[in-house]
């Protein structure tokens, strides 16, 4: 049998008989000619056929087919070539009356229908591009860290307790006891620092939070890193500036800027400022009369701060550092003596996409922090013993891949950047 050729590679096979496989994206029939636009993983090509060879099959859009043909140059074709059909075989017929097709405009298709028929969403140019860009973002994150001597780790998603004191956990039955789905790989990242110094992980995490908003998921894909021998959260923020700037450059190179069909945003982040939390509150009071914020930022404040940063620096992004310590996890390192934390958020295009900071690295400090929150340190003994091994000062961050993708492409809802969203209401398909 002839080896399969992808549509994007046909220019190297002019005049040869080739085997193509894909879906019928468009179909147009005249008395003398049938035109089939065939779509595969690499792109599309127009196939020109004798109707006598196609009519017996009753072809329609979205059918899965195999085509034998001969490619030739055609200046009028978008790709610069077409394929003359020799033979065609129906591999699997699509159903009649599908709710939408690969040529549909997704803005005209309800979000729940898109999820119910997710493979068809992916077959559209827009739907497919979202997840190709997301894959490029994650691939770029991995590559940028490997270049900086980070080692990728793969931690368990079944845990005995929470990293944040046992809140917002999904409980599962684990043989004769209860276990939980991991809400973060934080402890494992810190263990990795004790052994490898610089580690990262990409994987799903789980939050049993009863949200039903455009920005929250109960299962999301987290891009995590942790690094040893830091002097403060500024080291981690600088690393993120470098990594995301490189990642965005890669996406610009591969997909264009702007990404076709999207309100994309792929700036260099090297000049993104870091504003203290208290400074942010003052800026919001001065610019917008905000007097309602005390110990955290709401979504409107995140949008307002990004707009202020863009006005000053030209980039809609800002690091907010020094959040109140009481609202951060117990392992967070204090920032000075005024109750602030060595933690930060990166706000990007009006939305928080990263949380990070410096962690406590001495066992006695962790035990004190736990007792200060009414938690008995013995319940964290399996974690605390790792701090008997000479744990260096360390810090790290976590980026939500779906949020990052949504903000890069200008999507309105994080579920658009989630293959199969899990939220308060949806657990299938």
Question: Is-contact 201 179, C-beta < 8 A?
Answer: no
Residue 225: the pLDDT is: 98
Cα 285–chain centre separation: 33
- Domain residue spans in the chain? 7-92, 122-417
Per-residue model confidence (pLDDT) at position 165: 53
Pairing status of strand 274-276 against strand 317-321: parallel
pLDDT number for residue 316: 98
CA–CA dist 207, 216 (Å, integer): 9
Evaluate whether 7-92 and 122-417 have a shared fold. Answer: no
Predicted confidence at residue 81, as pLDDT, reads: 94
Identify the DSSP state of 243.
Answer: H
Q: How far is the CA of 255 from the CAs of 158, 293, 412, in angstroms?
A: 37, 40, 20
> How much helix, strand and coil, in percent to the nearest 5, is found in the chain?
35, 25, 40
Tens of pLDDT along 72-94?
999 888 889 999 999 999 999 99
* DSSP H or E run through 129: helix 125-146
User: Cα–Cα distance between 341 and 327 in angstroms, integer?
Assistant: 9
State whether CATH 3.20.20.140 applies to domain 7-92: no
In the numeric block, which tokens belong to residue 103? 């040529």
Residues in CB range of 132: below 8 A, 6 or more apart: 255
Buried b (16+ CB within 10 A) or exposed e, 265-274: bbbebeebeb
CB 368 within 8 A of CB 342: no
pTM for this predicted structure: 0.94
**What are the beta bridge partners of residue 223?**
202, 399
Q: How many helices (H) and strands (E) does the chain have?
A: 11, 18
CATH C-level class of 122-417: alpha beta
Going residue by residue through the chain, which has 429 residues, state the pLDDT in tens, using 9 for 90 and above: 578 999 999 999 998 999 999 999 999 999 899 999 999 999 999 999 999 999 999 999 999 999 999 999 998 888 899 999 999 999 999 999 999 999 999 999 999 999 999 999 999 999 999 999 999 999 999 999 999 999 999 999 999 887 665 568 999 999 999 999 999 999 999 999 999 999 999 999 999 988 777 788 999 999 999 999 999 999 999 999 999 999 999 999 999 999 999 999 999 999 999 999 999 999 999 999 999 999 999 999 999 999 999 999 999 999 999 999 998 999 999 999 899 999 999 999 999 999 999 999 999 999 999 999 999 999 999 999 999 999 999 999 999 999 999 999 999 999 999 999 998 888 888
């Amino acid at each position: 049998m002839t080896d399969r050729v992808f549509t994007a590679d046909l220019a190297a096979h002019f005049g040869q008989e080739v085997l193509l496989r894909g879906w019928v994206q468009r179909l147009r029939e005249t008395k003398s000619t049938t035109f089939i636009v065939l779509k595969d993983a690499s792109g599309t090509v127009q196939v020109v056929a004798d109707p006598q060879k196609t009519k017996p099959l009753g072809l329609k859009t979205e059918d899965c087919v195999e085509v034998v043909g001969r490619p030739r140059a055609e200046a009028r074709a978008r790709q610069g070539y077409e394929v003359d059909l020799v033979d065609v075989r129906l591999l699997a017929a699509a159903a009649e009356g599908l709710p939408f097709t690969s040529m549909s405009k997704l803005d005209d298709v309800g979000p729940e229908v898109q999820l119910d028929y997710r493979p068809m969403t992916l077959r559209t140019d827009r739907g497919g591009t979202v997840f190709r860009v997301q894959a490029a973002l994650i691939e770029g994150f991995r590559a940028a860290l490997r270049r900086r001597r980070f080692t990728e780790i793969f931690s368990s998603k079944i845990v005995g307790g929470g990293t944040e004191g046992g809140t917002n956990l999904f409980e599962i039955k684990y043989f004769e006891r209860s276990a939980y789905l991991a809400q973060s790989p934080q402890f494992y990242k810190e263990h990795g620092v004790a052994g490898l110094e610089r580690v990262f992980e990409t994987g799903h995490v789980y939050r049993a939070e009863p949200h039903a908003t455009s920005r929250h998921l109960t299962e999301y894909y987290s891009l995590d890193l942790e690094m040893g021998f830091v002097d403060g959260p500024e080291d981690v923020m600088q690393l993120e500036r470098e990594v995301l700037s490189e990642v965005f450059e890669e996406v610009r190179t591969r997909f264009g800027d702007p990404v076709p069909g999207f309100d994309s945003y792929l700036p260099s982040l090297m000049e993104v400022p870091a504003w203290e939390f208290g400074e942010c509150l003052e800026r919001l009071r001065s610019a917008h009369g905000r007097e309602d914020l005390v110990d955290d930022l709401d979504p409107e404040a995140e949008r307002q701060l990004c707009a202020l940063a863009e006005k000053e620096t030209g980039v809609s992004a800002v690091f907010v550092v020094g959040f109140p310590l009481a609202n951060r996890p117990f392992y967070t390192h204090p920032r000075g003596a005024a109750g602030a934390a060595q933690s930060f958020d990166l706000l990007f295009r009006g939305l928080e996409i990263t949380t990070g900071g410096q962690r406590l690295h001495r066992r006695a400090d962790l035990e004190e922090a736990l007792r200060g929150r009414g938690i008995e340190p013995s319940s964290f003994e399996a974690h605390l013993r790792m701090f008997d091994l000479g744990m260096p000062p360390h810090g790290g961050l976590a980026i939500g891949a779906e949020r990052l993708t949504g903000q890069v492409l200008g999507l309105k809802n994080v579920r658009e950047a989630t293959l199969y969203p899990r939220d308060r209401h949806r657990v299938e398909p």
